[in-house]
Amino acid sequence: GAGVSQSPRYKVAKRGQDVALRCDPISGHVSLFWYQQALGQGPEFLTYFQNEAQLDKSGLPSDRFFAERPEGSVSTLKIQRTQQEDSAVYLCASSVRLAGEKETQYFGPGTRLLVL
Amino acid sequence: AQSVAQPEDQVNVAEGNPLTVKCTYSVSGNPYLFWYVQYPNRGLQFLLKYITGDNLVKGSYGFEAEFNKSQTSFHLKKPSALVSDSALYFCAVRDGLSGNTPLVFGKGTRLSVIA
DSSP string, A24-91: EPPTT--EEEEEEE-TTS--EEEEEEETTEEEE-TT--STTEEEE-TTSS-EEEEESS--GGG-EEEE
Residue B34 and residue A35: Cβ atoms within 8 Å?
no
| φ, ψ at B61 (rounded to 5°) | 60, 25
Cis peptide before A61 (omega within 30 of 0): no
Q: What is the mean pLDDT of residues A71-90?
A: 96
- pLDDT over 60 (residue A100): no
Q: Confirm or reject contact between A38 and chain B (CB < 8 A).
A: no
- Please state, rounded to an integer, the average pLDDT across all residues of chain A: 92
Residue B102 and residue A48: Cβ atoms within 8 Å?
yes
The percentage of chain A sitting over the pLDDT mark of 70, rounded to a whole number, equals: 94
Q: What is the pLDDT of residue A1?
A: 56
Give the single-character DSSP code of B28: S
The percentage of chain A sitting over the pLDDT mark of 90, rounded to a whole number, equals: 82
Q: What is the pLDDT of residue A102?
A: 63
Instruction: Give the C-alpha separation, B59 to B33, whole Å.
Output: 13
- pLDDT over 60 (residue A42): yes
Q: What is the pLDDT of residue B12?
A: 97
**B106 contacts on A by Cβ (under 8 Å):** 42
- pLDDT over 60 (residue A98): no
Q: What is the pLDDT of residue B77?
A: 98
Cβ contacts of residue B35 below 8 Å, gap of 6+?
Answer: B23, B47, B48, B49, B59, B63, B65, B74, B76, B89, B90, B91, B92
A99 pLDDT band (50/70/90 cuts)? very low
Whether the Cβ atoms of residue B12 and residue B114 lie closer than 8 Å to each other: yes
Whether the Cβ atoms of residue A94 and residue A28 lie closer than 8 Å to each other: no
**SS3 of residue B62 by DSSP:** helix
Instruction: Give the C-alpha separation, A29 to A105, whole Å.
Output: 10
Q: Which helix (H) or strand (E) holds B49?
A: strand B44-50
Which residues in chain B land under pLDDT 50?
A: none
Q: Select from A58, A43, A52 the least CA-distant residue to A25.
A: A52
Instruction: Give the C-alpha separation, B8 to A45, whole Å.
Output: 22
Whether the Cβ atoms of residue B47 and residue B77 lie closer than 8 Å to each other: no
Residue B43 and residue A31: Cβ atoms within 8 Å?
no
Q: How far is A59 from chain B (nearest CA, A)?
A: 10
Question: Shortest CB distance from B43 goes to which of A33, A91, A102?
Answer: A91
